[in-house]
């Protein structure tokens, strides 16, 4: 099945107000920046995003935050976004902080059809409040629920018309997990190839998880540039 759509706007055209979305990326590495920009252009509101972080103030998910389109974030890191901090402290934004490894496993579990799992991470902290806990072999664990979302937005290096995806190096990060978790998964790719070009062993996300693919040009910003004087 050919899953290619014309552009980002076509890919996100049916995402409604109030939708829940998983988004790949870590910092600004491997983020679905074109799909995010298209959502901003469409102006959909009340969105819940499951993502490691919320971009920066003027890029990535941060642009949706600036535009008051996000109602809730399920994240593990929030430190690079001043608007995120402001909205959270003012009560404008609901935040569910989740340990990074737990967030990754919640997405993977949801995509694999696993409704929940026990982890020792967070036991005895605010992370465990209101959650079931159990003891196994003398160690305490917290029950965490798998995550399924209405949509998932991911960014890949290469993809084919069947939705098979390959990520490049560290840009892989949360993308395969987000792709699994979405009931409808939208992938933006740097390069679109014909079926059969990607060797089976190099495919990171099989096309069975992907519903729409589009190709575009990406900005690839550096989140924080650190330099030193010559000779230092």
- Give CA–CA dist 103/161, Å, rounded: 30
Taking only the tens place, the pLDDT of each residue in 84-136 is 889 999 999 999 999 999 999 999 999 999 999 999 999 999 999 999 999 99
pLDDT at 222: 67
- CATH number at 8-215: 3.40.1080.10
At 125, phi and psi to the nearest 5? -120, 180
Predicted pLDDT of residue 27? 86
Place of tokens 């994240």: 75
Q: Which residues of 63-97 are buried (b: 16+ CB within 10 A; e: fewer)?
A: bbbbeebbbebbbbbbebbebbeebbeeeebeeee
> How buried is 5 (Cβ within 10 angstroms: 0-12 exposed, 13-18 middle, 19+ buried)?
middle
Each domain of the chain, given as residue ranges in start order, spans 8-215
CA distance 222 to 56: 11
When pLDDT is cut at 50, 70 and 90, the band that residue 200 belongs to is very high
- Please state, as a whole number, how many other Cβ atoms lie within 10 Å of the Cβ of residue 125: 10
Radius of gyration of the chain (CA): 18
pTM confidence score = 0.91
Measured distance CA(158)–CA(156) in Å, rounded:
6
Length of the chain counted residue by residue: 232
């Amino acid at each position: 099945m050919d899953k290619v759509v014309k552009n980002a706007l076509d890919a996100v055209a049916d995402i409604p107000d109030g939708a829940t979305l998983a988004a790949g990326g870590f910092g600004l590495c491997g983020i679905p920046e074109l799909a995010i920009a298209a959502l901003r252009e469409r102006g959909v509101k009340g969105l819940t995003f499951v993502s490691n972080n919320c971009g920066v103030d003027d890029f990535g998910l941060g642009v949706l935050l600036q535009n008051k389109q996000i109602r809730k974030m399920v994240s593990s890191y929030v430190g690079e976004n001043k608007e995120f901090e402001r909205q959270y402290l003012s009560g404008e934004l609901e935040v569910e902080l989740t340990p990074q490894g737990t967030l990754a496993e919640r997405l993977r579990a949801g995509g694999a059809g696993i409704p929940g799992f026990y982890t020792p991470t967070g036991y005895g902290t605010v992370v465990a409040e209101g959650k079931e806990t159990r003891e196994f072999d003398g160690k305490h664990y917290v029950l965490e629920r798998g995550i399924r979302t209405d949509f998932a937005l991911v960014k890949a290096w290469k993809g084919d018309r069947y939705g098979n995806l390959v990520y490049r190096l560290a840009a892989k990060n949360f993308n395969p997990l987000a792709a699994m978790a979405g009931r409808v998964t939208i992938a933006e790719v740097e390069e679109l190839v014909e079926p059969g070009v990607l060797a089976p062993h190099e495919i990171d996300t099989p096309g069975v998880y992907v519903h729409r693919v589009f190709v575009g040009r990406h900005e690839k910003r550096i989140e924080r540039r650190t330099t030193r004087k010559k000779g230092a």
